[in-house]
Amino acid sequence: MSGYSSDRDRGRDRGFGAPRFGGSRAGPLSGKKFGNPGEKLVKKKWNLDELPKFEKNFYQEHPDLARRTAQEVETYRRSKEITVRGHNCPKPVLNFYEANFPANVMDVIARQNFTEPTAIQAQGWPVALSGLDMVGVAQTGSGKTLSYLLPAIVHINHQPFLERGDGPICLVLAPTRELAQQVQQVAAEYCRACRLKSTCIYGGAPKGPQIRDLERGVEICIATPGRLIDFLECGKTNLRRTTYLVLDEADRMLDMGFEPQIRKIVDQIRPDRQTLMWSATWPKEVRQLAEDFLKDYIHINIGALELSANHNILQIVDVCHDVEKDEKLIRLMEEIMSEKENKTIVFVETKRRCDELTRKMRRDGWPAMGIHGDKSQQERDWVLNEFKHGKAPILIATDVASRGLGALEHYVNCLDLVNKRLPYGLAQIGVCFHPVSDTKQTPDGVKRIGEKTEASLVWFTSARTASQWLDFWLRHRLLWWRKFAMSPSNFSSSDCQDEEGRKGNKLYYNFPWGKEPIETLWNLGDHELLHMYPGNGSQLYGRDGRKSVVPSVLSINGDLDRGMLAYLYDSFQLTENSFTRKKNLHRKVLKLHPCLAPIKVALDVGRGPTVELRQVCQGLFNELLESGISVWPGYLETVQSSLEQLYSKYDEMSILFTVLITEATLENGLIHLRSRDTTMKEMMHISKVKDFLTKYISSAKNV
């Protein structure tokens, strides 16, 4: 027997009409929405005597390998820095033909021009083909993917055909959608050659095509834990036939908090399976996982026993202050990109920093593109493809795999709105201020401007859970406001109801002149979306368990007028100053109110406002409002700030332009104009400001 080939046709048609997948069907989503993923999965009670038997040892040692002495094997392992622990570990293969792979697999290897197996492949293939559990610890880029995929193909070829309703035979768990897609790309060519089917299951992409692949039957499933848990709970697939399990980048999955999901998934797989775990590091958490999931396993380590990173990478640490980073980065980029074929990845800590640095570098002429978790899967794929082919050789990225998944994000995944253009999840809508009939002044002298906020935060939910979400938002908004206030007890809430019978909650603040509302939380029901999109009801439906429903809308509306907001800002500013003196921290207090985001222009006077300057500001303020440009009247605030503090504050408010009126404006009509995106500062005559801002905001659409 020259290899492990099989004459069976695994590409035959599978009929339709049989019962759908069994297993742990979850049914409709329950009213409880804040549990852990996988809580509906019931741990299987396996009886090995009742399970069908399967074969997992297919290894036949090649004659050339059998003739190799123990000393030759040890010399090879030392030369490749291979360390092996465990009993009865097979000898490593030095050439591809010694692994006895099927002819169609060898044809693909030949087409890819591989010369010899990598160290992890040389030692990993014989272990995996022998049906043994194993742990492979090797640096990234060492050929781990083929180390488990090719033995998986041999394993699958010796199992009974898939029947209708069966899940995959081989399951590969990966921490991120990007890694899952890479594994799928590697697997695709070998699967085509061997007439096998594979699919890639990950979040951030439509569920429909993934479900169809599973229903048609696939031998290999590459999945991220979150999306797989979702499908298992809803009964879209099962793991009854899975006998070959791979945990790829196990250390990364644990770092990202996937351990509970991994354990839930493994509980659905028969215990006599073959399990292969791959990792770039070997911390105690990974060791514990191996002890729990693997039996009598072989441990293969490539490189140093305390492997913690890729030693082929030269790491240079340059310690500097934050203010020096951008300048040093530019100098470094000039050095790196002086060679045409070079590519660079710049990692940053936050999504906001990723966007800011990408804008800055592109303004300076660098071919940079950004990628982070808030971007759509389609955009992320496109950016990675542009980087891969050198069209955008500079990639600025966060760790897009970092989860931070709270109850809100988990619920969006469950809702699965069909119309992807609908801004589901948490969205900001509306303009910031609209006129009201009166302008008041409180007994304490705080001027109440005749405009109020109408911007909203919106959350889409199921009608069954809307009341729970309303309670959730109420608790969190109260915590949020109280966190920064001088007198947290001044915040309170009460139930309310509008004329149409819709229920909500009001948040109040006890001002010196009396209690006034600052925010209102409403459950607007499903009528809100139907009213906003008349005639398009069919596009608004989303899945709620097994039902199609129009989502209910929850909204948080800011009821603050400008005078009240200025009063609160003064209070928060005092709190901040006291706090920073104690703990040397700097809080961005105006980040507190979400309704500020749609403002496009800030109008201010800097230090020493006078009556004349305020009058000029008020005139320009009215002109800009008439042109449809939302403006923040900074000239009415009572807190004195330096220019740097002023610009920093307005950047935090996401305001595009700051217009500064000074004494020079009274003399020659010149104002200072600063752009947030370009940090450009220039002088402009006050008569040209409105036209400039109108054209810019109209053309940019300020998205």
pLDDT 10s digits, 82-94: 999 988 899 999 9
**Angle, alpha carbons 225-229-230 (nearest 5°):** 120
Looking only at the bridges linking them, the beta strands covering 426-429 and 456-461 are: antiparallel
DSSP state, residue 303: S
pLDDT at residue 39 above 90? no
Q: What is the pLDDT of residue 123?
A: 95
Residue (of 529, 519, 528) closest to 496 by Cα position: 519
- Looking at residue 486, what is its pLDDT? 61
- pLDDT tops 80 at residue 221: yes
Indicate whether 2 pLDDT > 50. Answer: no
Query: Does residue 420 register a pLDDT over 50?
Result: no
Decide: residue 52, CB within 10 A, 0-12 exposed, 13-18 middle, 19+ buried: exposed
* Contacts of range 403-410, beta carbons closer than 8 Å, 24 or more positions apart: 403/256, 403/257, 403/258, 405/226, 407/33, 407/34, 407/472, 408/459, 410/37
- Residue 9, sorted as left (phi over 0), alpha (psi -120 to 50) or beta, turns out to be beta
Comparing 2-11, 321-330, 425-434, which segment has the lowest mean pLDDT?
A: 425-434
Terminal CA-to-CA distance of the chain, rounded, Å? 65
- Among 351-365, 407-421, 550-564, 627-641, the range with the most confident prediction by mean pLDDT is 351-365
Classified as helix, coil or strand, 10 is coil
Beta-carbon contacts of 445 under 8 Å, excluding residues fewer than 6 positions away, are: none
The pLDDT value recorded for residue 422 is 30
Q: Work out the angle between the directed axes of helices 144-157 and 177-194 (0-180°, nearest 10).
A: 40
- Comparing 576 with 56, the larger pLDDT belongs to 56
pLDDT band at 7 (very low <50, low <70, confident <90, very high): very low
Q: Where in 342-415 does DSSP place strands (E)?
A: 344-347, 368-371, 394-397
Query: Looking at residue 479, what is its pLDDT?
Result: 74
For 22-49, the three-class secondary structure string (H helix, E strand, C coil) is CCCCCCCCCCCCCCCCCCCCCCCCCCCC
Which residue type occupies 510?
N
The burial of 55, by beta-carbon neighbours within 10 Å (0-12 exposed, 13-18 middle, 19 or more buried), is given as exposed
DSSP assigned state of 561: B
Predicted pLDDT at 569: 54
What is the per-residue pLDDT across 474-514, written as a single tens digit (0 to 9) for each? 877 777 677 656 667 788 888 888 777 788 888 888 877 77
Residues 6+ apart with CB under 8 A from 450: 435, 436, 437, 438, 439, 561
Alpha-carbon span 552 to 522, nearest angstrom: 11
CA dist 221 and 62 (Å) reads 30
The helix or strand, by DSSP H or E, that contains position 692, with its residue range, turns out to be helix 686-700
Using CB atoms within 10 Å of the CB of residue 559, give its burial: 0 to 12 exposed, 13 to 18 middle, 19+ buried.
Answer: middle
- CB of 419 closer than 8 Å to CB of 392: no
pLDDT of 624 above 60: yes
The whole-angstrom separation of Cα 467 and Cα 504 is: 9
Q: Which has more pLDDT, 490 or 651?
A: 490
Output the six-digit token pair for 428: 């900001």
The chain-wide mean pLDDT, for the chain, equals: 74
**How do residues 338-347 score in pLDDT, each as one tens digit?**
776 778 888 8
Residue among 545, 500, 561, 487 at smallest CA distance from 527: 500
For 336, the token pair is 């790196």
> What's the rounded mean pLDDT across residues 243-260?
88
Under 8 Å between Cβ of 549 and 541: yes
Residue 156: name the closest of 235, 102, 92, 93 by CA: 102
What's residue 676's pLDDT?
A: 72
- Residue entry with tokens 């217009």: 659
Structure tokens at 437: 């009939």
At residue 354, φ and ψ (nearest 5 deg) are -60, -50
Buried b (16+ CB within 10 A) or exposed e, 150-182: bbbbbbbbebeebeebbbbbbbbbbbbbbbbbb
Based on the number of CB atoms within 10 Å of its own CB, is 126 exposed (0-12), middle (13-18) or buried (19 or more)?
buried
Which of 34, 518, 25, 93 has the alpha carbon at shortest distance from 234? 25
- pLDDT confidence of residue 555: 74
The span from the CA of 370 to the CA of 383, in Å, is 8
Tokens, residue 295 = 């039996």
Go through 371-390 and write b for each residue having 16 or more CB atoms within 10 A of its CB, e for each that does not.
bbbebeeeebbebbeebeee
More confident residue, 703 or 172: 172
Q: Which helix (H) or strand (E) holds 125?
A: helix 119-129
DSSP state of 275: E
Partners of 447 in beta bridges: 441
Strands 274-279 and 134-137 turn out to be parallel
Burial 187-221 (b: 16+ CB within 10 A, else e): beebbebbebbbbbbbbbbebeebbebbbebbbbb
Rounded distance, CA 162 to CA 10, Å? Answer: 9
pLDDT band at 637 (very low <50, low <70, confident <90, very high): low
Q: Taking residues 203-224, report their average pLDDT.
A: 91
- Return the closest-CA partner of residue 280 out of 256, 240, 320, 308: 308
| E strands in 132-173 | 134-137, 170-173
SS3 label, residue 357: helix
Higher pLDDT, 567 or 456: 567
Using one digit for the tens of pLDDT, what is the confidence trace for 532-544? 556 555 555 655 5
Q: Compute the average pLDDT of residues 666-684.
A: 80
Q: Are 432 and 600 in contact (CB under 8 A)?
A: no
Name the range with the highest mean pLDDT among 37-41, 559-563, 565-569, 681-685.
681-685
Provide the pLDDT for residue 126: 96
> What is this structure's pTM?
0.47
